[in-house]
């Protein structure tokens, strides 16, 4: 008999608590319901829960305080989801950085919460690998939505197409898909850039060659299809593949068999194929530059990864992640960004996406003197678009107003300028939002 996952619910609202417990039971979860932090902490320290769902506001302590207290006492916490009616990006970032798995605001979609719990209630090994359910691809809604669907793709999808601008992290997503598949996570992950090789070199790179197949072929060589057998083959920039090679690739994908250059016998391969491109394949098909049959063969599952400029919530998250990676380059001590540098990071359009951001942080760690990284170390002589010079030169009030204005503009844009939806997302009233907009200037 399979054991039902056990949840811990910390919620002081009797109606909501009872409703959630009933739904959890129907969905196959057991649930312990606590109405205050004290009894929840005692039970969490004694019980191996599959996940914890906690309100932020509790009668005897905040959900954040309870979470932080348990972090200091318990070596491992299960995935933790916070529920609150007062959500904000800043608060979410702080909680997620500390190790929370997710953060949802009231009113929330109960079906979506159940889906999140199913993805989080994995085996102990998988949960431990995900480091208490911390986000791995970013904090933005777009990347968290992609991250939620990856476990399902890892188990079921054998052909996946990733699209997005250069540098957005397509290969990172591809590697995450393999890592989530327990059956193949330790098998080869082989990547090749289809646009970086000539047609002749690409054929031998993909399919290999037999000894003596051409001048210089002094030994038999396996192509990437054979090298990735049992694992994952990542074909980057597939939109740049020459037409003749598209025909040969189509056959290999359809039959899951390849023939080496100069060879006669087909060789079976068993792998997951992940293709990626920064180009519009549909448009290339219409122009006759990409085969329509190949397009539909690789377009089984399509994930579009948005550029970094469209997911501002990820900028500082990745910046600090890269800072942790490169911060040890110099000997001055642990580095951090100045407030002006953080604002400049948020304002920069990042045409090179994560690749550009990573290089900027690496350069800044090498060039900056001391522990504080400023704008000059990040961008050198580049002219960084600043919404207001007061960010760097005026007093604290001016800087905070600039940050508040930037954030309200961002949320307004997310909701198409709709005042009611924006106010709800910000956790304030319509009247309060109108007053802030009037104070900060015309934001409509």
Would you state the pLDDT for residue 30? 92
Contact 424, 415 (CB under 8 A): no
Are 30 and 102 in the same domain? yes
- Higher-confidence residue of 346 and 97: namely 346
DSSP character string of 142-169: HHHHHHHHHHHHHHH-SEEEEE-STTS-
* Confidence check: pLDDT of 38 > 80: yes
In this prediction, residue 115 carries a pLDDT of 83
Instruction: Show the domain range for 362.
Output: 308-386
Q: What is the average pLDDT value for the chain, to the nearest integer?
A: 82
Nearest alpha carbon to residue 139 among 78, 76, 94, 84: 94
> Omega into 45 within 30° of 0, i.e. cis?
no
Q: What pLDDT score does 424 carry?
A: 76
Above 60 in pLDDT, residue 86? no
Output the pLDDT for position 392.
Answer: 44
| Range in 59-73, 276-290, 427-441 the model is least confident about | 427-441
Do residues 28 and 53 both lie within one domain? yes
- Residue 386 and residue 343 in contact, taking contact as beta carbons nearer than 8 Å: yes
* 156 lies in the same domain as 299: yes
Residue 417 sits in a domain whose CATH number is: 1.10.10
What would the mean pLDDT of 34-48 be, rounded to a whole number?
89
- Write down the pLDDT at residue 130: 42
Q: What is the mean pLDDT of residues 348-373?
A: 90
Q: Which position has the higher pLDDT, 304 or 87? A: 304
Predicted local confidence at residue 110, as pLDDT: 86
Per-residue H/E/C for 258-277: ECCECCCCCEECCCEEEEEE
> Scanning the structure block, which residue is given the tokens 């399919």?
207
C-alpha–C-alpha distance, residues 271 and 256, integer Å: 8
**pLDDT, tens only, 383-393:** 545 544 434 44
Confidence band (pLDDT; 50, 70, 90) for 274? Answer: very high
Tell me which range, 92-96, 111-115, 272-276, is most confidently predicted by mean pLDDT. 272-276
Tokens linked to 144: 């968290």
* Domain endpoint, select from 261, 276, 304: 304
Those residues whose C-beta lies under 8 Å from the C-beta of residue 261, and which sit 6 or more positions away, are 203, 204, 207, 208, 209, 210, 213, 214
Report the C-alpha gap between 257 and 102 in whole angstroms.
42
| Same domain, yes or no: 313 and 290 | no
pLDDT (tens digit, 9 = 90+) per residue, 159-206?
A: 999 999 999 999 999 999 999 999 998 899 999 998 888 877 888 999
Shared domain check, 24 and 120 = yes
Q: Hey, what are 153's tokens?
A: 């793709």
Q: How far apart are CA 400 and CA 395, in angstroms?
A: 9
- Residue 107 reports pLDDT greater than 80: no
- Higher pLDDT pick, 268 / 144: 268
What are the φ and ψ backbone dihedral angles of 52, each rounded to 5 degrees? -125, 130
Q: Stretch 62-72: mean pLDDT, rounded?
A: 84
The enclosing H or E element of 293 equals helix 292-298
- Work out the pLDDT band at 131, boundaries 50, 70, 90: very low
Check whether residue 344 and residue 407 sit in a common domain.
no
Residues 316 and 282 in one domain: no
Check whether 293 has a pLDDT greater than 80: yes
- Asked which of 304, 336, 353 is the last residue of a domain, the reply is 304
Is 142 a member of any domain? no
The neighbour count for residue 49, using CB atoms within 10 Å, is 21
Q: pLDDT at residue 215 above 70?
A: yes
**Domain CATH for 16:** 3.40.50.2300
pLDDT in tens, 425-444: 777 877 777 777 777 665 54
* Greatest Cα-to-Cα distance within the chain, rounded to the nearest angstrom: 79
- Same domain flag for 170 and 283: yes
Q: Is 210 a residue whose pLDDT tops 70? A: yes
CATH code, domain carrying 360:
1.10.8.60
Q: Alpha-carbon dihedral of residues 367, 368, 369, 373, nearest 10 degrees?
A: 180
Instruction: Please tell me whether residues 154 and 289 are part of one structural domain.
Output: yes
Q: For the chain, what is the domain count? A: 4
User: Tokens 């304002």 identify what position?
Assistant: 347
Supply the pLDDT for residue 299.
93
| 3-class secondary structure, 337 | strand
pLDDT band of residue 93 (cuts 50, 70, 90) is low
Residues 272, 157 contacting (CB under 8 angstroms): yes
pLDDT of residue 250: 94
The answer on pLDDT for 75 being more than 60 is: no
> Up-side HSE of residue 226: CA atoms within 13 Å toward CB?
16
The contacts of residue 7 (CB under 8 Å, 6+ apart) are 24, 29, 30, 31, 32, 49, 50, 51, 52, 53, 117
Buried b (16+ CB within 10 A) or exposed e, 179-200: bbbeebbebbbbbbbbeebeee
Q: Does residue 1 belong to any structural domain of this protein?
A: no
Q: Which of the pair, 341 or 87, is modelled with greater confidence?
A: 341
How does residue 241 score in pLDDT terms, banded at 50, 70 and 90?
A: very high
pLDDT digits (tens, 9 = 90+) for 318-329: 998 888 888 765
Dist. CA 249–CA 258, nearest whole Å = 9
Same domain for 206 and 346, yes or no, is: no
Q: Are 181 and 199 contained in the same domain?
A: yes
Averaged pLDDT for residues 251-269: 92
- pLDDT above 70 coverage of the chain, percent: 83
Token digits of residue 161 = 């197409």
A 10 A CB-CB count for 86 gives: 12
Same domain membership, residue 396 and residue 377: no
């Amino acid at each position: 008999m399979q054991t039902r996952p056990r949840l811990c619910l910390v919620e002081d609202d009797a109606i909501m608590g009872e409703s959630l417990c009933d739904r959890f039971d129907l969905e196959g979860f057991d649930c312990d319901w606590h109405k205050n932090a004290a009894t929840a902490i005692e039970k969490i320290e004694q019980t191996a829960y599959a996940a914890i769902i906690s309100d932020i506001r509790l009668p005897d302590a905040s959900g954040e305080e309870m979470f932080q207290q348990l972090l200091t006492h318990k070596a491992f916490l299960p995935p933790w989801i916070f529920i609150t009616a007062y959500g904000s990006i800043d608060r979410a970032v702080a909680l997620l950085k500390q190790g929370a798995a997710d953060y949802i605001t009231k009113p929330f979609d109960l079906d979506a919460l159940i889906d999140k719990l199913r993805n989080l209630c994995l085996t102990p090994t998988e949960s431990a690998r995900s480091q208490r359910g911390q986000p791995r691809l970013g904090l933005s809604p777009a990347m968290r939505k992609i991250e939620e669907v990856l476990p399902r793709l890892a188990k079921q999808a054998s052909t996946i197409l990733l699209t997005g601008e250069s540098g957005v992290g397509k290969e990172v997503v591809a590697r995450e898909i393999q890592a989530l598949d327990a059956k193949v996570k330790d098998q080869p992950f082989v990547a090749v850039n289809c646009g970086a090789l000539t047609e002749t070199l690409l054929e031998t790179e993909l399919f290999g060659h037999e000894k003596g197949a051409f001048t210089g072929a002094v030994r038999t060589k396996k192509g990437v299809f054979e090298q990735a057998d049992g694992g994952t083959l990542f074909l980057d920039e597939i939109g740049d593949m020459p037409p003749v090679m598209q025909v040969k690739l189509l056959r290999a994908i359809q039959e899951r068999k390849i023939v080496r250059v100069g060879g006669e016998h087909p060789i079976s391969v068993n792998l997951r194929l992940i293709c990626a491109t920064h180009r519009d394949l549909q448009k290339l098909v219409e122009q006759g530059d990409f085969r329509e049959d190949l397009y539909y063969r690789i377009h089984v599952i399509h994930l579009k990864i948005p550029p970094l400029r469209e997911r501002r919530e990820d900028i500082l998250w990745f910046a600090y992640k890269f800072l942790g990676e490169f911060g040890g380059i110099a000997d001055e001590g642990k580095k951090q960004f100045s407030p002006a540098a953080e604002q400049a990071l948020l304002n920069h359009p990042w045409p090179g996406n994560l690749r550009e951001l990573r290089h900027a942080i690496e350069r800044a760690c090498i060039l900056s003197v001391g522990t504080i990284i400023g704008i000059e170390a990040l961008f050198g002589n580049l002219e960084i678009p600043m919404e207001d010079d007061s960010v760097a030169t005026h007093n604290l009030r001016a800087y905070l107003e600039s940050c508040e204005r930037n954030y309200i503009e961002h949320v307004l844009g997310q909701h198409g300028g709709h005042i009611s939806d924006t106010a709800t997302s910000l956790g304030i009233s319509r009247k309060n939002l109108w007053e802030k907009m009037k104070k900060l200037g015309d934001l409509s």
